[in-house]
Structure 1
């Protein structure tokens, strides 16, 4: 019974930490909505689709992913900065490929909501987003 209580307490602590991270991301003007997640036929890899909404004037800070990100801009004007490349501004209907591990940021440079559909092909079990200073 003691092992069960320890495991239950660990689950509560982890859930609380994840909730705090989600609240922090949501309150910063970057809003993520997980749409789907599936294992791939390649062992150890998964695909995720996420809608990312960015409030006007807000920047999603520099970060990287443990795999590729394929971006389709749904609305607004988003400026992407990939490490080692010139910034590029995309509008609804434009696409962008972000190679695995490449630090990048996104800024809503418009006056309305900026939104993208992000499809990730990533290593399973690793954090999806890693902040980069």
Structure 2
């Protein structure tokens, strides 16, 4: 039995991916493959985004205020970050400066297993593109921090370190 769909254009080759609409409208296979590759790239980007979100889901960042830094291409972002006991703050960098003030302290477990206190009232500044974080909150207290970022506009707030 022969195939009921016949392509008259030699550029249009029938294959297992052809759809009757594509053949009836004389859509070249190269265009169809291009569309399918674009769709695959979209799926891969979505999966990558989901993985990044899953990595960041261990912390809760509530943005309080965002404003342009006058005369620059930067912005100021004020947030509160909560890291629940047993969760990690992944090792990451920022496209700018980060000031941190500890609202509610906790004990941090470092990658080498050493535990150190990060007490209420402690303050630190993390400079541009220098990796930091990479610890786990030990014990039963949630770590709560007020953060102020002065970062490049249009760039992600943080970049995970690979």
**TM-score with structure 1 length normalisation?**
0.71
Compare relative contact order (CA 8 Å, sep 6+) and give the higher one, 1 or 2: 1
Q: Per-residue deviation at 1:52?
A: 0.7
Bigger Rg, structure 1 or 2: 2
| Moved beyond 4 Å, runs of 4+ | 19-23
**Would the alpha carbon gap of residues 36 and 59 (structure 1) be closer, same or farther in structure 2, given more than 3 Å must change?**
same
Q: Per-residue deviation at 1:23?
A: 5.7
Q: Is the 8 A contact 1:46 1:123 kept in 2?
A: yes
**TM-score with structure 2 length normalisation?**
0.59
Q: Is residue 138 of structure 2 the alignment partner of residue 109 of structure 1?
A: yes
Aligned to 1:127: 156
**Would the alpha carbon gap of residues 32 and 124 (structure 1) be closer, same or farther in structure 2, given more than 3 Å must change?**
same
Q: Is residue 28 of structure 2 the alignment partner of residue 30 of structure 1?
A: no
* Mapping 1:1-133, distance limit 5 Å: 20=50, 24=54, 25-26=56-57, 29-77=58-106, 79=108, 89-105=117-133, 106-133=135-162
**Would the alpha carbon gap of residues 33 and 78 (structure 1) be closer, same or farther in structure 2, given more than 3 Å must change?**
farther
Q: Per-residue deviation at 1:111?
A: 1.3
Aligned length: 112
